[in-house]
Structures are given as C-alpha cells and as structure tokens.
Amino acid sequence: MPRVSEQYRTNRRGEIVVAAARLFAANGFHATSMADIIGASGLSAGAVYRYFRSKEELIGAVAEQALSAADETFALLLADGATPSPTDVLTAVLEAVSERIADHPVLGVDVTRIGVQVWAEALRSPELAARADEVYRRLRGYFSESARRWQAAGHLGADAVPEQVGAAMLGLVQGFVLQRLLVAGTDTEGYLAGVRALLGPAGDRPADPQVGT
Amino acid sequence: MPRVSEQYRTNRRGEIVVAAARLFAANGFHATSMADIIGASGLSAGAVYRYFRSKEELIGAVAEQALSAADETFALLLADGATPSPTDVLTAVLEAVSERIADHPVLGVDVTRIGVQVWAEALRSPELAARADEVYRRLRGYFSESARRWQAAGHLGADAVPEQVGAAMLGLVQGFVLQRLLVAGTDTEGYLAGVRALLGPAGDRPADPQVGT
C-alpha cells in the first residue's frame, strides 16, 4: 500500500520538523544538537537521519514551512495580473509575518526568532549562507515583480529599477521582523502606519496617476 | 601625574575593545570567551577584568564605538535646526553604515557582522536584549526627530506619527545591513536608488511642497 507508506513518511517528517523548530526557537540553532532533536522527536536516531542528515537540512525544512506563507501571500497579491501598490504589498506581507510566521499554525513557534538566529549563523556557515541567499532572492523576486507591474502601470518613475525597489521593500519587512523582536512596543499597526506615511502618495494608488514624476 | 594615568587607562581600554571586536567579528559572540579576549589583548586576566567584567560589557563598548558614527552623522544632518528630507537622512546613514561601520576605522572590522550576532544573542540574553533595545531606541529617536521636522515643514501629512515614520526609516537601514551581508550583489548605491524610487517625490524636497496630501 504505497499511499499509506507515503502518508506515513510525510507525517513522520513533519513531526521531526516541528520538534526541531521548537528547539531552535527556544534554545537557538547553535545550542541545539541533532541528539536534542532526536530526543524531542521520540523517534530513533536512525529514523531521524533517514529524513534529515543535518541541522542545516532541518533549518531548510523550517524555512520552507515559513516561506509557504509568503508564497501564498504573493500568489494572492499577484493573481490574474493584478497591480497591487507598494503599500498594498507591504500591508499584506507585514500582516502575514505577524499572523502566520511569528505565530506559525503548524510549527507552533515564532519562526522569526529562528530566522534571526540563522542570519547570525549564516555569517560563518557557507551552507546556511547559501540557503539564506536563496530565500531572500526568492522574496526579493516577489517584491520586484510587484514593483515592475507598478511601474508598468505608470505609478513609478521610468528610471526606477524594479529589483532595487524590491530590495528596499524587503528591507522594510526585515527591519520590522527585527524591531518586533528587539524594540519593546513595536506593533504591526504602528509600523505599517509609519511605512504608509513614509511612502506617502507615491506608495499608493493615487487619484490621478503621477506618471513620470 | 593623573593625566598620564588617565591616558594610559583609555589606551588600554581601547586595545581590549579592538581585540574583542576582532574576535567577535571573526568567530562570533557566542564562540568567543573572555579567555580568548584576554589572550588576544596581550594583557593579564586581572588587567582585562579591571576594565570589563563580561563579554556583554565588551559588546556594549563595541556598540558605543559603532554608534558614535551614527551620532556624528545625525549631528551633522540635524545641526542648526536643519530639515533634511527622508531621502537625505537615509542617504547619509546608509553611506555611514557602509563606510564607517562596515569598515570601522578604529576597530578594523565589519561591525555590522557583530551586530547581526548580537541580534540573535539578544533573543536569549536579557542583558543583551536591554542593550539592543536602548541602541535601537536611540537610533529611532534620531530618525523620528528628522521626521518631526519634515512634518513641521509641511512635507508630511498632519496625521503621520513621527515615531512611526522613524521606525520605518530605521527598518530600511536594518534591512540594508542584513542584505549587504546575506544577499550576494547588494550594494549601497543600488539599495539607495531603490529607497529613493520607493519613497518617490514624497521622500524628497518637492518643487512645490505637498502640504496636507
């Protein structure tokens, strides 16, 4: 019965990822060992290593779970050739971060805490650095696509480079992730209000498009 | 001769901070011990502990060195009641990050690498969390003051909250710090061009002030 076997494998794999995410969020990536993860998973070492050969592979699986929220958010924003404004995009993404990544429905932890630790580890681990580069290129690609459409609709100067605008938009989200964890009193609504005010009329759909300004 | 003694103390203290910064940047905050710092400083343990009782105190000293570049940048920007635009402020700060913090003239290391590691450690160390909170409040205060003046000059909607705009501006800088380290090909000029395009005419001194828009 290959279907049952496949389902069994998917469930086991998911349980290991949840156990690892909890340990990473509580104790940090550095201080968590494969032995800790094996212990928390309730499975044998052989069973765990059958799915994941290293902590780096496990971090990759945790990142994929968190990124699926970002993938879905952008899939909705960009569906059917839509042209969301930078303010629309940043609102949806910042809300996804606080509702679906900082309080992950499947992993049950604040995945942004794991993300910040991976940033630090990536400075000394080429494998994690390659994964982080891949993740941020993917996210920047989504933001850039939204900027490209915003420009094509005449709302962004013709000399703007969508990839550069996408990098700045991603930067606003990364800054939010960090301030939410490290600066007391940071809340989603307040940060979003600041972003909206900073972008001003250029960041949102104007009454009359400011073409070429 | 108390003046010589004072100078001697300042020099010794500075040497210890430089030795610590090099180790933190190369090996990480977590993997660096007080014993490593004592060894690298060439001083006795007693001498080092006379100046710094812990790694946390040393990180505080490194942070102060890096922040002095930010303090000076804002002192120039905000001198004599000046009203720099958000684009002016972000340009000056991003340039200070890449020229004076990522390539620190006294410490001789990329202090942003240490910063990212402190972000991660702060999630589990209340002492580092308190220091990070203090640092980011100070920086956010500068950005907020610039937004307050920009608003008073009529360039920002009356309903905008300067502290919230300041948080978003700080977020753009934190995102730059991170992308510069983790996303290949990120450069200061390109990121700045993206910020300018994203902020659009609202981010810079307009030909005719858009009061109340």
Taking only the tens place, the pLDDT of each residue in B184-198 is 889 999 999 999 999
Token reading at B11: 């020099």
Q: Is the pLDDT of residue A211 over 60?
A: no
Contact A127, A120 (CB under 8 A): no
Residues from chain A contacting residue B184 (CB–CB below 8 Å): 133
Task: Tell me which CATH code domain A60-203 carries.
Answer: 1.10.357.10
Gap from B170 CA to chain A (nearest CA, Å): 7
Q: Which residue in chain A is spatially nearest to B165 when comparing CA positions?
A: A194
Taking only the tens place, the pLDDT of each residue in A9-43 is 888 999 999 999 999 998 888 889 999 999 999 99
Per-residue confidence (pLDDT) for residue B176, from 0 to 100: 97
Contact B120, B178 (CB under 8 A): no
Model confidence at A75, pLDDT cuts 50, 70, 90, reads very high
Question: Cα separation of A207 and A151, whole Å?
Answer: 16
Distances in Å between the Cα of A198 and the Cα atoms of A30, A146, B15 are 37, 19, 42
Q: Which residue in chain B is spatially nearest to A189 when comparing CA positions?
A: B164
Of A3-7, A191-195, B107-111, the range with the lowest mean pLDDT is A3-7
Mean per-residue pLDDT for B161-182? 97
Q: Which of B198, B208, B211 to mutate to test the interface with A (most CBs of A within 10 A)?
A: B198
Of B30, B157, B193, the CB nearest to A164: B193
Question: What is the interface size between A and B, counted as CB pairs within 8 Å?
Answer: 211
Q: Comparing A82 with A131, which gets the higher pLDDT?
A: A82
Distances in Å between the Cα of A213 and the Cα atoms of A41, A202, A209, B2, B122 are 57, 9, 9, 63, 43
Element (H, E) at A40: helix A34-41
Distances in Å between the Cα of B207 and the Cα atoms of A89, B54, B211, B212 are 29, 54, 12, 15
Question: Cα separation of A45 and B120, whole Å?
Answer: 29
Of A135-144, B75-84, B99-108, B135-144, the range with the lowest mean pLDDT is B99-108
Radius of gyration of chain B (CA): 20
Mean per-residue pLDDT for B203-210? 60
Token reading at B26: 């190369």
Q: Is the pLDDT of residue B2 over 70?
A: no
Per-residue confidence (pLDDT) for residue B133, from 0 to 100: 92
Taking only the tens place, the pLDDT of each residue in A87-101 is 999 999 999 999 988
Of B27, B191, B199, the CB nearest to A198: B199
Question: Cα separation of B112 and B139, whole Å?
Answer: 15
Distances in Å between the Cα of A39 and the Cα atoms of A62, A114, A140, B135 are 18, 20, 37, 39
Mean per-residue pLDDT for B1-6? 70
> Taking every pair of C-alpha atoms in chain B, what is the biggest distance, in angstroms?
64
Residues from chain A contacting residue B122 (CB–CB below 8 Å): 181-182
Per-residue confidence (pLDDT) for residue B124, from 0 to 100: 87
Q: Is the pLDDT of residue B169 over 90?
A: yes
Nearest to A143 by CA among A123, A116, A169, A118: A169
| Amino acid (1-letter code) at residue A87 | T
Q: Helix, strand, or coil here: A167?
A: helix
Taking only the tens place, the pLDDT of each residue in B53-91 is 999 899 989 988 888 889 999 999 999 999 999 999 999
Contact B140, B163 (CB under 8 A): yes
Per-residue confidence (pLDDT) for residue A3, from 0 to 100: 66
Phi and psi torsions of A190, nearest 5°: -65, -45
Per-domain residue ranges of chain A:
60-203
Contact B51, B10 (CB under 8 A): no
Q: Which residue in chain A is spatially nearest to B182 when comparing CA positions?
A: A133
Q: Is the dihedral of CA A22, A26, A30, A32 positive or negative?
A: negative
Mean per-residue pLDDT for A122-127? 89
Q: What CATH superfamily is the domain B56-202?
A: Tetracycline Repressor, domain 2 (1.10.357.10)
Token reading at A181: 């964890």
This complex has an ipTM of 0.91
Per-residue confidence (pLDDT) for residue B199, from 0 to 100: 93
Residues from chain A contacting residue B119 (CB–CB below 8 Å): 116, 119-120, 178, 181-182
Nearest to B83 by CA among B155, B186, B27: B155
Per-residue confidence (pLDDT) for residue A78, from 0 to 100: 97
Taking only the tens place, the pLDDT of each residue in A171-209 is 999 999 999 999 988 999 999 999 999 998 777 776 544
Q: Which of A198, A210, A211 to mutate to test the interface with B (most CBs of B within 10 A)?
A: A198
Distant-in-sequence, close-in-space partners of A51: CB < 8 Å, separation ≥ 6: A9, A12, A13, A16
- Provide the H-helix boundaries in chain B: 2-27, 34-41, 45-51, 55-77, 86-96, 111-122, 126-152, 162-182, 188-199
Mean per-residue pLDDT for B12-31? 91
